[in-house]
Amino acid sequence: MNNEKMLSKLRILSRISVVSVIAYIVLAAYNFFPEAKRDFLSGMNAYESGEEVMKDPSLWKVLTAFPCDIALVTSLVIIIVAGLQLLFGMSKGSSPFNEKVSRAIKNLGVSCIVFELLRTYLFFIIEETVNIGVLWLAGIVLYAFSLVFRYGTFLQKESDETL
């Protein structure tokens, strides 16, 4: 199979991936929002009725929880944006190996690591137990893949210059 055929195959696969990822996000949001709304309202009701969710929270917990929450949501948004950037970059560009794609993978990896660290910290604040997931490993692997894609960018440049 020559380069052109391979590229068109990759572009088709990327387009399919873009559509499936968007469908996946929409379905997840459709499932998540009613539940989140119910939990938020029950939390508000519990607060208004004077129920304590956390017994005697210490000052450092109160001071760190809010900025961590904001950082967690920001990293989640970066994950979604970088993921879509990656797929759009692959389906639109002439080659999967370009600077944009490798930067998007790097952002995705770093934000996955940050997300996992913050999630673990917030879980520790609320439950007082340490529960580490596997997203940090995925983040490190993605960071390594960003280097692989950068190496691919050099090969792509060499190939273009030869032609």
Binding site for other proteins (CB under 8 A): 1-3, 6-7, 9-10, 13-14, 17, 20, 24, 95-97, 134, 137, 140-141, 143-144, 147-148, 150-152, 154-156, 158-159, 162
- Mark residue 50 as left, alpha or beta (left: phi above 0; alpha: psi -120 to 50; beta: remaining): left
Tell me the closest approach of the beta carbon of residue 148 to other proteins, in angstroms.
4
- Mark residue 3 as left, alpha or beta (left: phi above 0; alpha: psi -120 to 50; beta: remaining): alpha
- Closest to other proteins by CB, 44 or 141: 141
Tell me the closest approach of the beta carbon of residue 69 to other proteins, in angstroms.
25
- Closest to other proteins by CB, 13 or 68: 13
Contacts of 152 (CB under 8 A, 6+ apart): 96, 97, 102
* Amino acid (1-letter code) at residue 4: E
